[in-house]
């Protein structure tokens, strides 16, 4: 009997442990929160209103020079001289830098000597051919060789000419990208030029905003340093967007000599108004800015719907398609909402 007592005690302890664990499990389950998917979700809402949107809304841009770009080398070589300095104004055709053209000059001289020799051969064979002393095919081959040599000489002349790098347009040397002794290859940048006499404002606008711009239409440009806005003209509206669906718009600034390239500018479009566009709070948007969506409340349920926005500002978003006046959109309580969820309005 004494042998069984330890086993009986162990069995009793196991029973007590199992019972205690079962009781603890029931207690935890009773205290644990379980989301009832059928229960309505409490949400905050707002009603879609129609708002007059003037085309006088503002867009941020940057003042840039109309003629601006890098001067590139067209042939390889070592820089032997730099004829300008940073900040210097240069006219179109002015020499910016020169490359070592000694090797090209030797090739040019060899091509010139070849042409001279073939010209003499061609004259000699022409006389002999007229006297039937040689076959006409020899004259033809000499003429072909002479033509090829002339093409080679013209090629050497052009390459030698391109060792002198000149300004493609008048402008200020903003940056020199080479120095004497540098070795450059074809299409290597040599200098940065900018003509600040003709300026324009560069805008990047969304696919919804680009339809507000028309080439030839006026636009008011203002800056912090100007007491009065400048009347500009829209000269270019991009037809193709970038990877972020942004379109380029350019606005000409005639006579804006006091401005500098690189300064921020604000552009306002005057003109007609677009009446009756739905407006909702920005916090009602879900999804991405490229494909915005909202949750509509209909018959006590949330319905997700895609919309198209035109502009935003002051915490509000103007919508062009997808909503109408009187629609109720959810503005808070999105955590537990899915398409078709039952909702109650707080």
Percent of the chain with pLDDT over 90: 30
Q: Is 94 exposed, middle or buried (0-12, 13-18, 19+ CB in 10 A)?
A: middle
Hey, where are the domains in the chain? 41-54+274-345, 58-66+196-273, 101-162
For domain 41-54+274-345, which architecture applies?
Beta Barrel (2.40)
Give CA torsion, residues 327, 331, 333, 335, to 10 deg.
Answer: 100
DSSP 223: -
Cα gap 23→21, rounded to integer Å: 5
Average pLDDT, whole number, for the chain?
83
What is the C-alpha to C-alpha distance for residues 158 and 205, in angstroms, rounded to an integer?
A: 44
Dig out the tokens for 294 from the structure.
């909202």
Distance from C-alpha of 214 to C-alpha of 234, rounded to nearest angstrom: 7
Please state the rounded mean pLDDT for residues 103-115.
91
Q: What is the pLDDT of residues 287-310, one digit of tens each?
A: 777 788 999 999 888 899 999 876
Q: How confident is the model at residue 91 (pLDDT cuts 50, 70, 90)?
A: very high
Q: Which fold has domain 101-162?
A: Helix Hairpins (1.10.287)
pLDDT of residue 225: 67
**Nearest 5°: phi and psi at 129?**
-65, -35
| 334 CB neighbour count, 10 Å cutoff | 16
What global pTM score does this model have? 0.54
Give, in words, the CATH class of 58-66+196-273: mainly beta
Q: Are 188 and 73 in contact (CB under 8 A)?
A: yes
Distance CA 16, CA 73 (A): 91
Pairing mode, if any, of strands 189-206 and 58-72?
antiparallel
Hey, what are 1's tokens? Answer: 């009997």
What is the pLDDT confidence band of residue 261, given thresholds at 50, 70 and 90? Answer: confident
DSSP 294: E
Q: What is the pLDDT of residues 48-83, one digit of tens each?
A: 888 755 445 678 888 888 888 899 999 999 999 999
**3-state DSSP of 44-92:** EEEECEEEEEECCCEEEEEEEEEEEEEEECCCCEEEEEECCCCCCEECC
Please tell me the predicted confidence (pLDDT) of residue 272.
46
Helix, strand or coil, per DSSP, at residue 9 = helix
Which H or E element spans position 279? Answer: strand 273-281
Q: Does 26 score more than 80 pLDDT?
A: no
Mean pLDDT of the region 22-37: 66
Tokens 């013209």 -> residue = 154
The token pair that represents 86 in the structure block: 């940073």
The dihedral through the CA atoms of 212, 215, 218, 220 has a sign that is positive
């Amino acid at each position: 009997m004494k042998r069984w007592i330890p086993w009986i005690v162990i069995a009793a302890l196991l029973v007590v442990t199992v019972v205690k664990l079962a009781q603890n499990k029931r207690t935890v389950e009773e205290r644990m929160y379980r989301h009832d998917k059928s229960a309505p979700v409490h949400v905050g809402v707002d009603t879609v209103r129609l708002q007059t949107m003037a085309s006088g809304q503002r867009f941020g841009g940057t003042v840039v020079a109309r003629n601006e770009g890098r001067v590139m080398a067209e042939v390889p070589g070592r820089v032997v001289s730099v004829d300008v300095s940073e900040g210097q104004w240069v006219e179109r055709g002015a020499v910016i830098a020169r490359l070592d053209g000694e090797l090209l000059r030797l090739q040019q001289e060899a091509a010139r000597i070849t042409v001279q020799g073939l010209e003499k051969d061609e004259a000699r064979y022409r006389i002999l051919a007229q006297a039937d002393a040689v076959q006409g095919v020899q004259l033809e081959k000499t003429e072909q060789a002479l033509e090829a040599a002339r093409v080679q000489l013209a090629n050497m002349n052009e390459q030698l000419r391109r060792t002198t790098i000149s300004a493609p347009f008048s402008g200020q040397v903003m940056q020199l990208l080479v120095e004497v002794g540098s070795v450059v290859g074809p299409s290597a940048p040599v200098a940065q030029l900018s003509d600040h006499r003709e300026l324009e404002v560069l805008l990047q606008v969304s696919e919804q905003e680009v339809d507000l711009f028309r080439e030839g239409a006026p636009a008011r440009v203002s800056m912090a340093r100007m007491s009065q806005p400048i009347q500009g003209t829209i000269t270019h509206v991009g037809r193709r967007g970038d990877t972020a669906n942004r379109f380029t718009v350019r606005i000409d600034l005639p006579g804006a000599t006091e401005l500098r390239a690189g300064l921020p500018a604000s552009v306002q479009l005057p003109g007609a108004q677009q009446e009756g566009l739905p407006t909702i709070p920005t916090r009602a948007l879900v999804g991405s800015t490229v494909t915005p969506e909202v949750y509509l409340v209909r018959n006590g349920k949330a319905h997700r719907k895609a919309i198209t926005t035109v502009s935003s500002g002051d915490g509000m978003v103007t919508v062009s398609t997808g909503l109408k006046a009187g629609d109720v959109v959810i503005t808070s309580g999105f955590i537990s909402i899915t398409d078709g969820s039952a909702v109650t309005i707080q």
